[in-house]
Structure 1
Amino acid sequence: MKSGFTRRGFLAVAAASAGAAVLAACGGTGRRTQSGSAPTGDPVRGGTLTISDTQAVPSWQNQRLSTYSSGNLVFPVLVYLLYFDPKAKKLVPWIASEWSHNPQNTEFTFKIRPGVTFSDGTPLDAEIVRRNLDRLGKGDPARNIPANAYLKPGYDRAEVIGGDTVKVVLTKPNQDFPLRVSQLQNGLVAAKTLELDLTEAGKPENVVSAGPFVFESQVPNQEVVLRRREDYAWAWQGSRNQGAAYLEKVVWRVLPEIGLRTGALQSGQVDIARGVQPIDEPQLTSGGFQVLATRPTLGTSNWAAFRLNHPIVSDERVRKALQITIDRDEMSRTALSASFPPAKSILNVEHPAFVDHSKEFAFDPARGRKLLDEAGWVPGTDGIRVKDNRRLELTVPQDAQQAALNGAWEYIAQQWRQELGVVLNVRNDATFATAAQTDAEVPIVVSRISVVSLAQQFGGAGNTSTLVEEPGLVAFRERELNAADDAALAQIQREEQQYLLDRAYVIPVFEEAQVYGVSSQVNLEFNATTYPLFHTAWKAA
C-alpha cells in the first residue's frame, strides 16, 4: 500500500486545529529539560505563588487522591515515612529516620523521627503511625474507607516496639512496601482525620497532617489557598530547605482550558501553568518564561495497552503491526516538541531498570502490512482492512490530564490509516475515557504511570490496562514481591520490558513528561512524581 502520509500534510492539519481545546498533562521528574532561566542566588522568603491546574480535587482523603492535580495540591500538606529522592534515585528518611526489613520481605521496621507534630499540635509518634498503617493496610469498613490496594495484599498488622519504632507484619512477601509508603495515597494524618468517615475525611479543612503547608481557604472547584506552617522543621533528608517554606502562601487555581492557563501565565495572573501544549512552548520561551519538562524517575513512557481478549487485537500479529507502524521521530518533531522525545521502552529513560528497546519497535510499515496480511486482514475497496466482514477499526480514549496526547494520537491515526489501512477514532470524551478503564469493548487505552510493578499494571488482578490476568505477568509479579533487594527487582523489570514488548501487549509512544510554563521570577524544583516542591520554591523580590 502506497502511503500519502507526509510531514507537510500533517502540519497542515495541526495548524487547522491549533485553536481547539487540547488536553492537559500528567507526569513526573528526575531529569528536567529547561528553556528560559530561573532567578539565582539565595532564596527569597515571603510572597505568594499562584499555580493554574487542570481540574478540581473533589476529595482529599488518602485513597481518593487519584489524579495528578490532587498530587499537586495535597502533597505539600502531607508527610510520609520515606521520600524517594529523584536525583539519588533512592529512598531517603523523612518521618522514619531509619528503616529495615527481614530477608523474606514480610517484616518492615520504621524508627520514627522525634519532635514532629501535626498542625493541630498533636505528636506524630509511633502510635499514630501504627494507626495510619493499619488504616492503609486494612481499610476501615465502619467508616467506608478502603485499604490501599498496594498495601493490602498480605497486610496483617503494625505494632509499636521500643517506644519509637513501628513494625509491620505481612503474611506474604512484599518487596514494594517501603516504596509504596512514600507514595501520594499513603500520607500520614492525625487522629482527628483518622476518626472521620470517607466523606468527612475528604474535606480539606479536616485533613490534619504535618507538611510544610496547611489548608487556609477555598472556593470549591475554583481555588484553594495553602498557608505556610511556620514551625515546620522536618524535611526529608537531602532537601535544600530544612526549615519552613520560603513562600508564605500558595494559591492553586482550576483552569481546565489549556489556552486560559497559558494566557493567565503570560498576563501575570499566575506564576505557573501546568500542562503546556507543545505548540505554545516556543511562544512562552520567546516571551521570557521558563518551560520546564520534568520526567518521572520511576515512571513509564506514555503508552497504549491492548485489551487482550478483544477480537480485533487478540492476534499478536495485529498488535505488532500497530506497534511498529509509528514514526516516533517524525511524531516528536511535528506533533509534539523536544519536551516529548520518542519512547525507547515502556519505562521512561530515568527509571533505574530502563533498557533501550527502540530498535525492536522501530518504524517498519512494510513489515506491518505483511503482518496484517498474514493475520487475514486484507484491504477493502476503500483501502480499510477487513476480515470476516469486519473493518479493522479501533477507538482510543483520551485523557484530560495530558497536553501532548491529542496531537500524538491524531498523528498516529493518520499514519495507521495511510500506511496500514486501519481506522483509529481518537475520542476526546472524559466520560468515555473514564468508562473505558473497565470496558472490554474498548480495544486500546492510553496511559502512563509512576510504576512500581509493570507486571501488576499490565497483567495483575484488577488491572485496567489489558483487563486480563496474563499468566506470565502474574509469575513476574510474584518474583517482584520476593525480590531480595532493589538490584534484583531492577533485573526482573528489565526482563518484564522484554516480555511485554515481544508479545506486543504495549505500544511505547513518547517519553512521559510534565511540562510547566513558569515565570522567570520563580525558582522551582520537582519531586520524583513531578509534583512541584512548594516547600523549596521561591520568588524573586
Structure 2
Amino acid sequence: MKRAIALAFAASLLAGTAMAQSTLRIGLAEDPDLMDPTTARTFVGRIVFASVCDKLLDIDKDLKLVPQLATEWKWSDDQTALTLKLRPGVKFHDGEPMDAAAVKYSLERHLTFPGSRRKSEISQVKSVTVVDPLTVRLDLSVPFAPLIAQLTDRAGMIVSPKAAQAMGDKFGSAPVCAGPYKWVERVQQDRIVVERFADYWDKGNIHFDRIVYQPVTDATVRLANLQSGQLDLVERVAATDVDAVKSNPRLQLVQATELGYMGLSFNVANGDRAKTPLGQDARVRRAIELAIDRDAINQVVFNGLFSPGNQWVAPANPWYQKSSPTPKRDVARAKALLKEAGVANLSFTVNVPSGSENAQVMQVVQAMLQEAGIDMKLRTLEFATSLQMASKGDFEAYFIGWSGRVDPDGNIWAFNSCEAAQNDGRYCNPEMDKWLKQARSTNDRERRMAAYAEATKVHMADMPRIYLYHRTWFYGVSKKLQGFQAPPDGLVRIQGLKQG
C-alpha cells in the first residue's frame, strides 16, 4: 500500500514537472531580423513580438480595437491630441514599472532612434506629455487618422527605459518589454526561446512556460515537423498542402485572409542599380505588369485559394479602388510598350527570399515574361539578407510582401512616400505624397477614399511596385493545442492557448 502511494505521489510529481516545463513549439517561415520594436521590419518578427512586447492597443479577430497596455483612449475635439489611460500595476521583465514615463520614453525613442522604422509611422506626434503616472497625452502637429492603428503594432510596443538605455543599439539582441514572455536566447537560423514572465499582468491567461520559435523556410519540411509532432503550430502552410492538413486526424487547419499583399518592388532611385531602363522608365514596369497573368499564378501555385489583386488592399477590402481594376494580361501591349521605351531586350534580376512558394511564383512569372521577350533572372537569398540588400539598394527588383495593417495608410505610406523608412526603391513623387497626406489628415471616410483614389492613379502611372496577390493565412495546428485564432494581421497571439 505504501509502495502504491509512493508511486502515485511520484507520478503526480512527474506530471507537475511536465506541466511546469510545458513548451509550445512554433514553426516560422523565416528567421526574424533584429528584435527591436523600433528598428524591426519582418512579419515573423511581429509573431515573436506578440509574446514578448505588449502594445498600447491590440485588435481582435474582427479587427476591432481592444485594450492592452492602455485601457482607455480619447481624441480631443480637434483631433490633434490623443489621451491614453494606462493599465495599473504592469511591470517590465526587468521589474521596472510600465508607466506614463515609460510610454513617453518609448514613443520618443521611436521618433529619434537612429535607423528607426517607426518614425514615419508616427511622425505627426510632436510631443508626448506625462499627465500623471498612468495617463499620457500625444499632441500632434496635424490631425492623423491612422495613429490609433499604428499603436496596435510595433509603434505601440513599450520597452523598458532602463534596459534600452543600458543596451543602446544592442537592445534587439535581448529585448525587455512588458509581454507575457521574457527573452531567454536566440540562435540565428535555429531558434528563439522565451519563457513565461511570472509578473505578467494577465498571467491567468498564459498556460505555457516556454515557447520555442523555429525558423523552417521550406514549407514542406515545416509541415513534416508538425505532422511528426516536432512542432505544435506552423504558420503559412503552403496552399498545396492544405488538403494534407485537413486529412490528418491529428491536425486542424485555421485560416484568415491577410490585410496585406505580395508583389514586385522596383529600385527606381536607390543607387547605381536603379540606373537601368527598369528603374528609370515607368513604361518598362508597366510592360512587366501586362505580361503577368495574376489569375494564372493563383491557380498554378495556390490552387486558387489566394486573391489576385493590383492594389495595396485586396479587391474585397472596403478601401479597394474599384475604379482601377486589375488589368488583364496583354502580351502584345507589353511588347509595344517596350518598343516605345526603346528597350529591345529587357533583362533584369529579381531578388527572391528563400522559400518554395516564393520560388514557384517567380518561376511562373519568369515564364510569362519570357513570352513577352523579357529575361528575368532569379537571385534566391536568405530573408534577412534580402532585406539588408534592399535597404542598401542592392537590387533591381525585389519579390516581397507586407502582412498588412488595419488602416490602409499602413499598407501604402511606408513604401510609397518620399519620407518613408521602408521605401527601399526610393520612389518619390510629390503628387503621391500630397494625396497620402490628405488621406492621413482626416477621419472622414469619403474624403479619405477620394484621396486614395487619386493616389491610386499616381501609382498606376508610376508603377514603382506591381501588386500581385493577397494571401490566405493558413496555419497547421495540432489538435492538442486549444484556443488558437487567426486574425487577419497573421500574428500568433499566445493568450488563451493551452494544451488539450
- Which TM-score bucket, shorter chain as reference? 0.7 to 0.9
Equivalent of residue 70 in structure 1, options 45, 66, 69: 45
C-alpha separation in 1, matches of 2:392 and 2:186: 35
Say yes or no: does 1:254 pair with 2:215.
yes
Amino acid of the structure 1 residue aligned with 2:157: G
C-alpha separation in 2, matches of 1:367 and 1:215: 54
Find the counterpart in structure 1 of residue 130 from structure 2.
160
The correspondence of residues 415-426 of structure 1 with structure 2, limited to 5 A, is 415-418=368-371, 420-426=372-378
* 3-state secondary structure, aligned to 1:196: helix
The correspondence of residues 504-523 of structure 1 with structure 2, limited to 5 A, is 504-523=463-482
Say yes or no: does 1:225 pair with 2:193.
yes
* 3-state secondary structure, aligned to 1:496: helix
Work out whether residues 256 and 473 of structure 2, in 8 Å CA contact, stay in contact via their aligned partners in 1: yes
Q: State the Cα distance separating 1:189 from its structure 2 match.
A: 2.2
- Judge which range, 77-86 or 301-310, deviates more: 301-310
Find the counterpart in structure 1 of residue 494 from structure 2.
534
Amino acid of the structure 2 residue aligned with 1:482: S
Say yes or no: does 1:312 pair with 2:312.
no
Find the counterpart in structure 2 of residue 214 from structure 1.
182
**Structure 1's 256 and 133: CA in aligned 2 closer, same or farther, altered over 3 A?**
same
Work out whether residues 312 and 443 of structure 1, in 8 Å CA contact, stay in contact via their aligned partners in 2: no
C-alpha separation in 2, matches of 1:332 and 1:101: 42
Structure ranking higher on relative contact order (CA contacts 8 Å, 6+ apart)? 1
* 3-state secondary structure, aligned to 2:205: coil
Work out whether residues 395 and 443 of structure 1, in 8 Å CA contact, stay in contact via their aligned partners in 2: yes
Q: State the Cα distance separating 1:326 from its structure 2 match.
A: 1.8
C-alpha separation in 1, matches of 2:329 and 2:77: 45
**Structure 1's 413 and 358: CA in aligned 2 closer, same or farther, altered over 3 A?**
farther
Say yes or no: does 1:404 pair with 2:363.
no
Q: State the Cα distance separating 1:455 from its structure 2 match.
A: 4.1
Structure 1 residues not aligned, in runs of 5+: 1-43, 235-241, 378-385
Q: State the Cα distance separating 1:167 from its structure 2 match.
A: 1.1
Work out whether residues 46 and 246 of structure 1, in 8 Å CA contact, stay in contact via their aligned partners in 2: no
C-alpha separation in 1, matches of 2:132 and 2:434: 38
C-alpha separation in 1, matches of 2:276 and 2:185: 51
**1:361-381 CA-partner distances (Å, limit 9, x unpaired):** 12222333333344444xxxx
Find the counterpart in structure 1 of residue 314 from structure 2.
348
**Structure 1's 322 and 531: CA in aligned 2 closer, same or farther, altered over 3 A?**
same
Find the counterpart in structure 2 of residue 81 from structure 1.
56
The correspondence of residues 6-25 of structure 1 with structure 2, limited to 5 A, is none
TM (norm. structure 1) is 0.76
TM (norm. structure 2) is 0.82
Q: State the Cα distance separating 1:414 from its structure 2 match.
A: 0.4
**Structure 1's 180 and 424: CA in aligned 2 closer, same or farther, altered over 3 A?**
same
Q: State the Cα distance separating 1:56 from its structure 2 match.
A: 4.1
C-alpha separation in 2, matches of 1:243 and 1:295: 30
Work out whether residues 274 and 516 of structure 1, in 8 Å CA contact, stay in contact via their aligned partners in 2: yes
C-alpha separation in 2, matches of 1:485 and 1:73: 35
Find the counterpart in structure 2 of residue 369 from structure 1.
335
After superposition, the CA RMSD in angstroms is: 3.3
- Judge which range, 157-166 or 406-415, deviates more: 157-166
* 3-state secondary structure, aligned to 1:166: strand
Say yes or no: does 1:329 pair with 2:312.
no
Name the % identity: 21
C-alpha separation in 1, matches of 2:312 and 2:161: 41
**1:60-117 CA-partner distances (Å, limit 9, x unpaired):** 3222432222222222121111113341x34332222222334554422212123333
- Judge which range, 403-412 or 176-185, deviates more: 176-185
Find the counterpart in structure 2 of residue 472 from structure 1.
431
Work out whether residues 234 and 476 of structure 2, in 8 Å CA contact, stay in contact via their aligned partners in 1: yes
Q: State the Cα distance separating 1:397 from its structure 2 match.
A: 0.9
The correspondence of residues 17-166 of structure 1 with structure 2, limited to 5 A, is 47-57=22-32, 59-87=34-62, 89-102=63-76, 105-139=79-113, 146=116, 148-151=118-121, 153-166=123-136
Work out whether residues 525 and 537 of structure 1, in 8 Å CA contact, stay in contact via their aligned partners in 2: no
Q: State the Cα distance separating 1:229 from its structure 2 match.
A: 3.9
The correspondence of residues 145-294 of structure 1 with structure 2, limited to 5 A, is 146=116, 148-151=118-121, 153-204=123-174, 207-216=175-184, 221-229=189-197, 232-234=200-202, 243-288=204-249, 289-294=251-256
**1:124-163 CA-partner distances (Å, limit 9, x unpaired):** 2223222222222333xxxx78573225635433112255
Amino acid of the structure 2 residue aligned with 1:160: V
Amino acid of the structure 2 residue aligned with 1:476: W
Work out whether residues 76 and 211 of structure 1, in 8 Å CA contact, stay in contact via their aligned partners in 2: yes
**Structure 1's 429 and 90: CA in aligned 2 closer, same or farther, altered over 3 A?**
same
Q: State the Cα distance separating 1:319 from its structure 2 match.
A: 2.5
Find the counterpart in structure 2 of residue 21 from structure 1.
none
C-alpha separation in 1, matches of 2:424 and 2:78: 30
**Structure 1's 527 and 117: CA in aligned 2 closer, same or farther, altered over 3 A?**
farther
Q: State the Cα distance separating 1:187 from its structure 2 match.
A: 1.2
**Structure 1's 359 and 190: CA in aligned 2 closer, same or farther, altered over 3 A?**
closer
Q: State the Cα distance separating 1:393 from its structure 2 match.
A: 1.0
* 3-state secondary structure, aligned to 1:51: strand
Higher normalized helix content (fraction of residues): 2
Find the counterpart in structure 2 of residue 381 from structure 1.
none
Q: State the Cα distance separating 1:257 from its structure 2 match.
A: 4.2
Work out whether residues 324 and 363 of structure 1, in 8 Å CA contact, stay in contact via their aligned partners in 2: yes
Say yes or no: does 1:296 pair with 2:244.
no
Structure 2 residues not aligned, in runs of 5+: 1-18, 270-274
Amino acid of the structure 2 residue aligned with 1:326: I
Say yes or no: does 1:457 pair with 2:418.
no
C-alpha separation in 2, matches of 1:60 and 1:436: 18
* 3-state secondary structure, aligned to 1:361: coil
**Structure 1's 106 and 119: CA in aligned 2 closer, same or farther, altered over 3 A?**
same
Amino acid of the structure 2 residue aligned with 1:100: K
Amino acid of the structure 2 residue aligned with 1:227: E
- Judge which range, 128-137 or 221-230, deviates more: 221-230
Q: State the Cα distance separating 1:264 from its structure 2 match.
A: 1.2
